[in-house]
Structure 1
């Protein structure tokens, strides 16, 4: 590999830092009377609503202290976090994705604050179930399920099937409750000239669908081995082969539009909310937004049919950068979001709170959302996300699924693409 001389490397590093910081917005670490907060939830999402209320409560209870909130994009933080957190431009508190490839990697690099003492002191650990704690704690390799707390979630999440009841009724198609009914419904929509699935292949949605298909043939050991390196992983086993082959088959049958390789998650969601597609397979993070936005048709959700496991976990984490100058203020803000009032607001706004009284959730759709989540927890059905195991794996997953949509790779070739970086990282962490 070419290595520039010291001066050239310094110039390049400074240029890169300037570019990244410009992309993330003009920010400072704040001062003792200001908490700098970054997150990427939309203002009409359940988390956006709850956290806006938390900001007001924080400022009410911290006289003379203001919150400098800066909304970032998911992709923006995903790609630039390492550079920003290794500078003096780090915020005091930020939302960050959980898993080995993200929070785990930053913890391994020393960029996140060890929250273990604070978690115990404030009792946050007692509010989280064992499956939720897994994504908060990392070992020295950056692998989740370790002993050290580097993040705290105040919500949970899982994926599901959203469907437009009016479009199903208009075409005389039964709302599916089994996997066979789901494929039969999609066949019927294709015959009617309607593409069944709103899907985004440019970002996370397509890879999550591929993983969901594989999960329908997997067990808990399969998930644990893949996510935490505790056993052998074969990317050409029955589960992965079924997932990739079925995904490619769905493209061929017209369930998935071939132009979806260039569609991002936002466009996928807004197309469904505009009534253009009968089905969307995505996460509970859309739930509150769909609930607030859709007024022109009736909609509902079901758990993915025919599988005990689905994508899900704790929500994204509150993390405190190691360079945060106001860590105590950050802890206080987290505490507000874990409190009873904020948890109940989140739950009644279409989110899944981790510490709310179920009796306080009065909205019918929100109650169904939370009940379905509990069903998954009770059957050990939360299988995390496919891009978590290795740094950079998100882009690998996007590339492989785009090739399946475009037809530029066979299912076997796509699985080979997934296997290489995974196996390299397994060697790096001593697997």
Structure 2
């Protein structure tokens, strides 16, 4: 390990005890933890999500085949995100957990020596053969915690990407069709605004607006730019055409009424539910919403399309299974991970609104799921997966959200926002690679 990085900033750390349910500590597990017959598992997927459904079945299979017991604790994304370094560096670490991928998250923990090197397990179980090369990028990290090279520290078993969700009924009522170019997309936004309808469901306190900003930059970028931004191959020009187009477009769309300034105080949940209730006709967000919209957005017909006129989109392999270095039952953890990669478990992900990475195509029977997976496959086939805007540094998620909030409420100009973000980005990168 060369250089550890700053812990996530701007998030109040919860105590380790807040993450561990009563009776679930190592000392409370009794002999079962010590004799290797209990697998302590954490993840943050809801029970009715695609992954929650699949992993529940995987737990049953695991217990049947190993005669071991799974001690499962559901955590929130923020609980795990904000306390991982503290908890995984203690005796309270689980044996296997779902964790966010990228330099600022899994890479950070790997560089701190908190995650197990999985190279031997990957070879033993053949996981590399089940994952497309583009999906392996976020599973491997070097000594500095930079993704793409080095050893395996995680295993993704689903994919994700960001696309446009749209209300077909609202489009039809206003005589609008799915746009195929950026110009046509802006025409759609203008048509809705002219009818008094704010077209874009947005949130600036969490990820949605940042992902739209990044998608706009990607519309003017290529793979080399993505590698510069994400992997530090070359310096990023924060006043260059890619970022300038993205930031200026967000400002222009806000001034034109396509994005509400109320978004400065809204979270992702607020934006998603406002699309579900039919308030907004368009929501640019991740495939993780797909199954929820299927079950909750029942008052209208909806569909999806990839952001027009670009080869690149935010996305990646999904969050990963990681095994803490302090895990007490690593072999059981590897067995569980392997079960989640089986075709029958992967098919459950695919038929419940998720994106499997190792399923048999013939096993996916749901039409909407086929559409979702086809869009993802189209991106991976053209090397269009471009990761996420906050990944480069451990603090950039909060910094990007804050900068875009200032852009929306007019307290900073486009150039000033870009200057501020550029300085924050570079500070974080320097902390990683020197």
CA distance in 1 between partners of 2:377 and 2:200 (Å): 26
CA distance in 1 between partners of 2:280 and 2:432 (Å): 43
Q: Does 1:58 align with 2:53?
A: no
Shift of 1:415: 1.2
Shift of 1:268: 1.6
Q: Check 1:23–1:410 CA distance in 2 against 1; reply closer, same or farther (3 A cut).
A: farther
CA distance in 2 between partners of 1:417 and 1:82 (Å): 27
Counterpart residue number, 1:24: 19
- Of residues 256, 261, 264, the one that matches 1:261 is 264
Q: Does 1:221 align with 2:224?
A: yes
Q: Check 1:24–1:409 CA distance in 2 against 1; reply closer, same or farther (3 A cut).
A: farther
1:134 match: secondary structure? helix
1:375 match: secondary structure? helix
Shift of 1:76: 2.0
Counterpart residue number, 2:433: 430
Q: Does 1:301 align with 2:304?
A: yes
CA distance in 2 between partners of 1:55 and 1:267 (Å): 32
Shift of 1:200: 1.5
Shift of 1:24: 2.3
RMSD between aligned alpha carbons? 1.6
Counterpart residue number, 1:8: none
2:41 match: secondary structure? strand
Is the 1:137–1:144 Cα contact (8 Å) retained in structure 2? yes
Calculate the TM-score normalised by the size of structure 1. Answer: 0.93
Q: Does 1:42 align with 2:37?
A: no
Q: Does 1:383 align with 2:382?
A: no
Q: Does 1:286 align with 2:281?
A: no
Give CA-to-partner distance per residue, 1:270-298, whole Å, 9 cap, x none: 22122221110001111122122222211
Counterpart residue number, 1:5: none
Is the 1:138–1:148 Cα contact (8 Å) retained in structure 2? yes
- Of residues 89, 103, 116, the one that matches 1:86 is 89
Q: Check 1:425–1:401 CA distance in 2 against 1; reply closer, same or farther (3 A cut).
A: same
1:72-83 aligned within 5 A: 72-83=75-86
CA distance in 1 between partners of 2:358 and 2:276 (Å): 29
Counterpart residue number, 1:370: 373
CA distance in 2 between partners of 1:229 and 1:116 (Å): 24
- Of residues 164, 180, 184, the one that matches 2:183 is 180
Counterpart residue number, 1:200: 203
Q: Structure 2 stretches of 5 or more lacking a match?
A: 1-11
Give CA-to-partner distance per residue, 1:78-132, whole Å, 9 cap, x none: 1111111111121111111111111001000000011110011000011111111
Is the 2:20–2:92 Cα contact (8 Å) retained in structure 1? no
Q: Which moved more, 1:149-158 or 1:180-189?
A: 180-189
Counterpart residue number, 1:9: none
Shift of 1:74: 1.6
- Of residues 133, 138, 141, the one that matches 2:144 is 141
Is the 2:41–2:94 Cα contact (8 Å) retained in structure 1? yes
Is the 2:142–2:149 Cα contact (8 Å) retained in structure 1? yes
Shift of 1:25: 4.0
